[in-house]
Amino acid sequence: MRAAEHQPVLVAQVVEALAPPETGWVVDATVGLGGHARALLAARPGLRLLGLDLDPGALELARGRLSEFGSRATLVNASYWRLAEVAHDHGVSAADGVLFDLGVSSLQLDTPERGFSFRHDAPLDMRFGPNGATAADLLAECSEEELVCVLRDLGEEPRARRVARAIVRARLQRPLATTGELRRVVHAALGPARGRIDPATRTFQALRIATNRELEGIAPAIEQAARLLRPGGRLAVIAFHSLEDRLVKRALRHLSGRCVCPPGSFACSCRPERLLEILTPRPLTPDEAEVAANPRARSAKLRAARRAG
């Protein structure tokens, strides 16, 4: 995918939610191909942007997309897990806005050799960056019980046990090394598609999330962002599936001073802190025109908050 073809979601809503000032710093913690970053920089000629991304290929395309803004855009190959550290290293002591666009990108889905999609037979990689264990490594090393937990908790697969058992049986013959091999194992376990959703969809989602440890970093990164914001600064987070969105909602609630302990808890142990004021009681979603132009935007949800004080 070329950068020019990139269609970022909820662009106008992001710019409005962040309400960037004429000058100052905005941090795009998941800059991807630079679509949101470009819109923010174009909207405010005096604004500067610090962009992070774990994917060096995406970052290279973003550099080209944002080259017209010169030194106003600083891009760093790093995960949003390191947001506070990267901001400090680049002299950003306080930000006017922070954006997260969570999940997998169109570039990753549409690059067959990355192994994110079962629509192409390719190595089972699924890593956002070049380092660490691949999805194939995960499938080879996890026990059946561990696979059940991954598929159930990260993919919301109702027949997780059946899929996990099929994977374990298949790998006794030979390691599962490609997307096509894994898809065939899942299809054999679950049967053919009964509608528009491929039976392997939940399994591939679960493996991608587990390979990149996506959910672990969301709450800590949002807290880092909240502490980086200057009073009145804004935070915007786009999530694409229910697991992400629940974690975002919970983190924002906790950082707005509300208890997030499980219902029925004897006493609050989560120690909420009022750093933020929530601006979106209900998440913003794409309208029909955007979904028609970009079907991948269909599940996007945008939540926003403002730094208190």
Domain boundaries of the chain, sorted by first residue: 3-103+215-307, 112-212
Q: Span 3-103+215-307: which CATH code?
A: 3.40.50.150
Could you report the per-residue pLDDT of 103-115, keeping only the tens digit for each?
887 778 878 889 8
Could you report the per-residue pLDDT of 178-236, keeping only the tens digit for each?
999 999 999 999 997 777 789 999 999 999 999 999 999 999 999 999 999 999 999 99
Q: Record the pTM.
A: 0.92
Please tell me the predicted confidence (pLDDT) of residue 264.
83
Please tell me the predicted confidence (pLDDT) of residue 109.
80
Residue 1, pLDDT > 80, answer no
Please tell me the predicted confidence (pLDDT) of residue 214.
93
**DSSP string covering the chain:** --GGG---SSHHHHHHHH---SEEEEEETT-TTSHHHHHHHHH-TEEEEEEEES-HHHHHHHHHHTGGGGGGEEEEE--GGGHHHHHHHTT-SSEEEEEEE-S--HHHHT-GGG---TTS--BS---SSSSS--HHHHHHH--HHHHHHHHHHHH--TTHHHHHHHHHHHHHHS---BHHHHHHHHHHHH-S-SSSS-TTHHHHHHHHHHHHTTGGGHHHHHHHHHHHEEEEEEEEEEE-SHHHHHHHHHHHHHHBT---SPTT-SS--S---B-EEES-SS-B---HHHHHH-GGGTT-EEEEEEE--
Could you report the per-residue pLDDT of 71-98, keeping only the tens digit for each?
999 999 999 999 999 999 999 999 999 9
Please tell me the predicted confidence (pLDDT) of residue 263.
87
- CATH T-level assignment (fold) for domain 112-212: DNA polymerase; domain 1 (1.10.150)
Could you report the per-residue pLDDT of 23-80, keeping only the tens digit for each?
999 999 999 999 999 999 999 999 999 999 999 999 999 999 999 999 999 999 999 9
> What's the mean per-residue pLDDT of the chain?
94
